[in-house]
Chain A
Amino acid sequence: MITVFDRPEALTSAKTHYCPGCTHGIIHRLVAEVIDELGVREETIGVSPVGCSVLAYNYFNLDMQQAAHGRAPAVATGIKRVHPQKIVFTYQGDGDLAAIGTAEIVHAAARGEKITTIFVNNAIYGMTGGQMAPTTLLKQVSVTSPQGRDAAPQGYPIRVSEMLATLDGPAYIARVSVHTPQEVSKAKKAIMTAFEYQMAGIGFTLVEILSTCPTNWGCTPRESLRWLVDNMIPVYPLGVKKMVEGVKV
């Protein structure tokens, strides 16, 4: 018998708590596949956030630290400074990274910390029940923007990747999505590049991954993929936002 599909070694056998149609599971798998393919599972330390992926430490078969809300880049800084030869990544959602953790991500990027951030953007607070996030689109309905997000009182969505790409510290920043098999392949390639840049010691790396939240968006998994394409990608265009020279990928 030939095994054609198996669980990456960098994932545990634990069943995830993610909702049907959520793409966290795909993204976890991509990160794990990259770690396996680079052969660095025993050299990697991950940091899980507060939010839907808070329990990521149960799903990654790696040394993991669980961080306070938004503080994963600071925690990762502490780890990386102690173990500069190890691979350190944070896994964070948009509420965690783009609201309460804005200072930590901006300054980790500005310092050029040699870490990788996997930034999962689903334009809403999922874990706490669908509140407006800093990434929530204009007119998007959430439980705390029940009339739809209005720029006048509630401000505009933040494009984190573009904002961080203006800094000198980052080495590689890209935005990808996982709504089709082709995009999944591109997303994996971006994660691979980010880890390779980190291992080459070039600087800070971040991959923003657009993700779905059918539960809190109030739609089916299939509708959520369509909604992401029609509404999120125009506001959050995919592509490499920054890539410094010097690494052969």
Chain B
Amino acid sequence: MAKVLMKGNEALAEAAIRAGCRYFFGYPITPQNEISQYLAKRLPEVGGVFVQAESEIAAINMVYGAAGAGARVMTSSSGPGISLKQEGITYMAGAELPCVIVNIQRGGPGLGGIQPAQSDYFQAVKGGGHGDYRLLVLAPATVQEMVDLMEKAFDLADEYRNPVMILGDGILGQMMEPVEFSEEKETLRLEKPWATTGAKGRNPNIINSLFLDPAELEKHNHHLQQKYDRMRKEVLWENYQTNDAELILVGYGTSARIAKAVVDQARAQGIKAGLFRPISLFPFPKVALQEACKKSERVLTVEMSMGQLVEDIRYNLEFKVPVHLYGRVGGMVPAARAVLEEVKRLVNSGKEGKTHDNSF
């Protein structure tokens, strides 16, 4: 298929259709509105259903019902709306229901702002709601990757019977880039014999996250944990110029695009910089990160937060390499020039044998 120029949010919505999603339940919030607007028009054309819910809470619970009924279903929102959805998300994790949730991040906390941010990282990768659970979290960095990860997201959701989050941001949602779609494939769809479709000729199916017996609930938690452990093989990442890098920049999504430009600029000035870009944020590509940072003396995370990804980078590098942070927040986006200055400062301070008080 030929390439078309599309806005990230719309491309992502079209990709959901191609991935076999026929149900969308959502509530308006900036900067993700194009997703629901696109699907409101597109879903009826393919025999699907679009419902604008009365709240984010209702929307995610409609997703719960539809997922439990066996459908490929999704919702999308941004920070404040994702917070409201946490109730439904933890219930879906507990009841092991597959769905895709898109978070086109904006600045917080509270009502925050409507400009891009990456400050929902903790919420996305550590669970987000109550109880011990995890989402599979995928972080695209281009509009094409938003498209490619969408189909993967639905497949992973079905395979693991778990909610999958696409963690984007306001820039990715609003920017236009050329994209190519693949045709819809229906070959490898998993059967869902557990779904509530009416107990015709079989025992009833029950969708549930309640286990009143503590021993049973502990067993259920162990079962979930084993599933999260199995997910480790789904790690995705990109290395850019990391082979000989003395300083590794780490970032995901929009920040990774900026960091990539910084790597090129740094190399042009004789600094051996590289980029490690995690694409799956949970599971986190720990081994790949350690491998990429093997020769580096320093690591600098670039993120649109006050320092969230940086904590996981330190943890995953087991505190063996100094890890620094360059963060902008509130809808402010890191400028390549400013990140490059930080890179130069770190490299020079290393030469002088100084350690920066902001590391570890």
Identify the closest chain B residue to A100 (Cβ).
Answer: B57
For the complex, give the distance between the alpha carbons of A75 and B97 in Å.
13
User: Is A83 positioned at the interface, with any CB of B under 8 Å from its CB?
Assistant: yes
User: Is B20 positioned at the interface, with any CB of A under 8 Å from its CB?
Assistant: no
User: Is A202 positioned at the interface, with any CB of B under 8 Å from its CB?
Assistant: no
Q: Are A68 and B87 in contact (CB under 8 A)?
A: yes
Q: Are A82 and B23 in contact (CB under 8 A)?
A: yes
Overall SS of chain A's interface: helix
Interface string of B192-223 (1 = CB under 8 A from A): 00001111110011111110000000000000
The number of chain B residues touching the other chain, given as a range, is 35 or more
User: Is A67 positioned at the interface, with any CB of B under 8 Å from its CB?
Assistant: yes
B265 to chain A, nearest CB (A): 49
User: Is B95 positioned at the interface, with any CB of A under 8 Å from its CB?
Assistant: yes
User: Is A138 positioned at the interface, with any CB of B under 8 Å from its CB?
Assistant: no
User: Is A215 positioned at the interface, with any CB of B under 8 Å from its CB?
Assistant: no
Contact status of A66 and B199, CB under 8 A, knowing A74-B53, A74-B58, A78-B68: no
Q: Are A86 and B198 in contact (CB under 8 A)?
A: yes
User: Is A65 positioned at the interface, with any CB of B under 8 Å from its CB?
Assistant: yes
User: Is A37 positioned at the interface, with any CB of B under 8 Å from its CB?
Assistant: no
User: Is A199 positioned at the interface, with any CB of B under 8 Å from its CB?
Assistant: no
Partner-binding segment picked from A54-62, A140-148, A204-212, A220-228: A54-62
Q: Are B209 and A107 in contact (CB under 8 A)?
A: no
Contact status of A82 and B54, CB under 8 A, knowing A68-B91, A74-B65: no
For the complex, give the distance between the alpha carbons of A82 and B65 in Å.
9
User: Is B78 positioned at the interface, with any CB of A under 8 Å from its CB?
Assistant: no
Contact status of A64 and B210, CB under 8 A, knowing A77-B51, A78-B66, A81-B51: no
Q: Are A65 and B68 in contact (CB under 8 A)?
A: yes
A86 to chain B, nearest CB (A): 5
Q: Are A66 and B207 in contact (CB under 8 A)?
A: yes
User: Is B127 positioned at the interface, with any CB of A under 8 Å from its CB?
Assistant: no
Complex interface: chain A residues within 8 A of B206 (CB): 57, 63-66
Interface string of B51-65 (1 = CB under 8 A from A): 101110111011111
Partner-binding segment picked from A40-48, A154-162, A236-244: A40-48
Q: Are B66 and A61 in contact (CB under 8 A)?
A: no
Count A-B pairs with CB separation below 8 Å: 131
Q: Are B54 and A107 in contact (CB under 8 A)?
A: yes
Q: Are A107 and B210 in contact (CB under 8 A)?
A: no
For the complex, give the distance between the alpha carbons of A45 and B201 in Å.
14
User: Is B70 positioned at the interface, with any CB of A under 8 Å from its CB?
Assistant: yes
Q: Are A41 and B197 in contact (CB under 8 A)?
A: no
User: Is B236 positioned at the interface, with any CB of A under 8 Å from its CB?
Assistant: no
User: Is B309 positioned at the interface, with any CB of A under 8 Å from its CB?
Assistant: no
Contact status of A76 and B198, CB under 8 A, knowing A64-B204, A65-B208, A68-B87: no
Complex interface: chain B residues within 8 A of A82 (CB): 23, 49, 65-66, 69-71, 73
User: Is A22 positioned at the interface, with any CB of B under 8 Å from its CB?
Assistant: no
Complex interface: chain B residues within 8 A of A57 (CB): 206, 208
Complex interface: chain B residues within 8 A of A36 (CB): none
Q: Are A41 and B68 in contact (CB under 8 A)?
A: no
Complex interface: chain A residues within 8 A of B62 (CB): 74-75, 77-78, 81
Complex interface: chain A residues within 8 A of B63 (CB): 78
User: Is B88 positioned at the interface, with any CB of A under 8 Å from its CB?
Assistant: yes
B18 to chain A, nearest CB (A): 19
Complex interface: chain A residues within 8 A of B70 (CB): 82
Determine which residue in A65, A68, A82, A86 has the highest number of CB atoms from chain B within 10 A of its CB, and name it: A82
For the complex, give the distance between the alpha carbons of A57 and B211 in Å.
12
A56 to chain B, nearest CB (A): 10
Identify the closest chain A residue to B72 (Cβ).
Answer: A82
User: Is B100 positioned at the interface, with any CB of A under 8 Å from its CB?
Assistant: no
Q: Are A104 and B54 in contact (CB under 8 A)?
A: yes
Q: Are A45 and B208 in contact (CB under 8 A)?
A: no
Complex interface: chain A residues within 8 A of B54 (CB): 103-104, 106-107
User: Is B141 positioned at the interface, with any CB of A under 8 Å from its CB?
Assistant: no
User: Is A24 positioned at the interface, with any CB of B under 8 Å from its CB?
Assistant: no
Complex interface: chain B residues within 8 A of A77 (CB): 25, 51, 58, 62, 65
The 4 closest A-B CB pairs, nearest first, are A78-B65, A78-B66, A74-B61, A75-B65
With A61-B199, A63-B205, A103-B55 known, 16 other A-B pairs at CB within 8 A are A42-B199, A44-B198, A57-B208, A62-B199, A66-B209, A71-B61, A74-B53, A74-B58, A74-B59, A74-B64, A77-B25, A78-B23, A78-B69, A79-B66, A82-B49, A83-B69
